[in-house]
Amino acid sequence: MIPSWLAPNPRATRSMTFGREQQFVVNPNGIPELCEDLKQCPRHVPTPLLSLPALAGRLGVGEIRVKDESQRFGFGAFKALGGVIAVYNTLSGAVGDAYHSSVTFADLLTGDYDEITKRFVFSTASSGNHGRSVAAGAKLFGNRCVVFLPKFTSAEKEAAIRARGAEVVRIDGDYDTAVAECKRVSAEKGWTIISDTSWEGYDSAPRSVMRGYTVLAHEALVQWGEAPTHVFVQAGVGGLAAAVIGYLWAVLPTRPVFVVVEPASADCWFQSNLAGHAVPASGNADTAMGGLACREISPITWPVVGLATDWFMTIEEDEVMPARRLLAHPLDGDPAIASGPSGCAGMAGFCRVAADASAFAALKLDRRSRVLLINSEGNLGEAPA
Ligand SMILES: Cc1ncc(COP(=O)(O)O)c(C=O)c1O
């Protein structure tokens, strides 16, 4: 019997094709060029795709590869890709509108367009990582930035945001409350919100953010040289999942089996899948996995995550530390990987499935399977694993 923490997606048929509705969310065109553009960013190199053969043998699959985003930009999380690119897209769009010409990263960095770009004050709500990325983008291009943080975000993450020159507003509430406050204040002050989640009438920045994330999926395919058969990806609002699922679905001849993993208390995608439309999480999103502590999905991602995710699953809080330890202290010969609680959630999900024979069989995992996981953040000020 399939365990209650695992649910199939009745909408995800194998014959579905990646169409216009999906392309609006994640556009695979131009991603190799975007990767080239990124080379102009200080400290940018592709993150490694690490192979864990000993763990694959132990867990009964052919291969496990981990895209190690703990090394992104010297920043420690995949989120670096989203905020910086969304800030760039906003500024280059404004310059394009003003001068009817397109500008590159390098053009903007010259300061020649300051009279247009300096008017922008960027704001965002974040559980930490996205705020740091928007702050980094604003700093790179010389803009003021204000980040709204929920109560639970660690002092280390706040310090890292301030270190990138942004102002921080602490909210006495959770992530969704921080989003609401960011919207209210930004509307009042005329600030430009760079959010990683979407809402009615607001989707341009989240689409740019997801475009940034697709870089990691593209890199992983190039590095592997083979397509994964299974992908376990952790979700907060679903932006990372949309980018990874959307990109791989668009460019691969056969869609891998996609599994979206969430903390049990922040299961907005799990519940939305059961309902067939967006509904809030069943819990209060009180989780150690801060990046996944979201009570609501990003609605714009539905045509990708809601339609093409094959399975949704949840994990418990006490499954996080064992997964972090497994990555930090690997089996013989496998590389060690530093992960944070949200970073290892895909691994925790895979381990949960591997330990349950019926779940393992339901996902059609076997010794030929090639499993892709994403270590979405490193060990950022958390207790060591
Ligand atoms: C480390 C980490 N992993 C995964 C996620 C989930 O990303 P999304 O909210 O786009 O689903 C986040 C979001 O903040 C994060 O910080």
User: Best substitution site from 342, 373, 377, 380 to test ligand 1's pocket, by max atoms within 8 Å of Cβ?
Assistant: 342
Neighbours of 231 (CB within 10 A): 26
Whether residue 145 has its Cβ less than 6 Å from ligand 1? no
Q: Are 142 and 164 in contact (CB under 8 A)?
A: no
Q: Which domains does the chain have, with CATH numbers?
A: 6-78+206-375 (3.40.50.1100), 80-195 (3.40.50.1100)
Sign of the CA dihedral running 3, 16, 240, 195? negative
pLDDT, mean of residues 80-101: 93
Which of 41, 38, 20 is closest to 30 using CA atoms? Answer: 38
Angle (nearest 5°) at CA 238 between 233 and 169: 120
Pick 264 or 152 by higher pLDDT.
Answer: 264
Whether residue 341 has its Cβ less than 6 Å from ligand 1? no
Residue nearest to atom 9 of ligand 1 (CA): 236
Contacting residues for 13 by C-beta, under 8 A, at least 6 apart: none
> What b-and-e string marks burial along 342-355, b requiring 16 or more CB atoms within 10 Å of the CB?
bbbbbbbbbbbbbe
Distance CA 151, CA 130 (A): 16
The pLDDT of residue 381: 65
Kindly give the distance from the C-alpha atom of residue 52 to the centroid of ligand 1, in angstroms, as a whole number: 23
pLDDT, mean of residues 31-42: 81
Whether residue 203 has its Cβ less than 6 Å from ligand 1? no
The pLDDT of residue 105: 84
Per-residue pLDDT tens digits for 1-23: 999 999 999 999 989 999 999 99
Mean pLDDT, rounded, of the chain: 95
Kindly give the distance from the C-alpha atom of residue 293 to the centroid of ligand 1, in angstroms, as a whole number: 9
Residue bearing tokens 């090639």 = 370
Ligand 1 nearest atom to the CA of residue 127, by list position: 14
Per-residue pLDDT tens digits for 243-283: 999 999 999 999 999 999 999 999 999 999 999 999 999 99
Angle between helices 155-163 and 129-141 (to 10 degrees): 10
Which of 277, 280, 279, 282 is closest to 302 using CA atoms? Answer: 277
Distance CA 237, CA 295 (A): 8
Which of 242, 223, 226 is closest to 45 using CA atoms? Answer: 223
Q: List 192's β-bridge partners, or say none.
A: 122
Polymer length in residues for the chain: 385
Distance CA 212, CA 208 (A): 6
Residue ranges of E strands in 311-351: 311-315
Whether residue 295 has its Cβ less than 6 Å from ligand 1? no
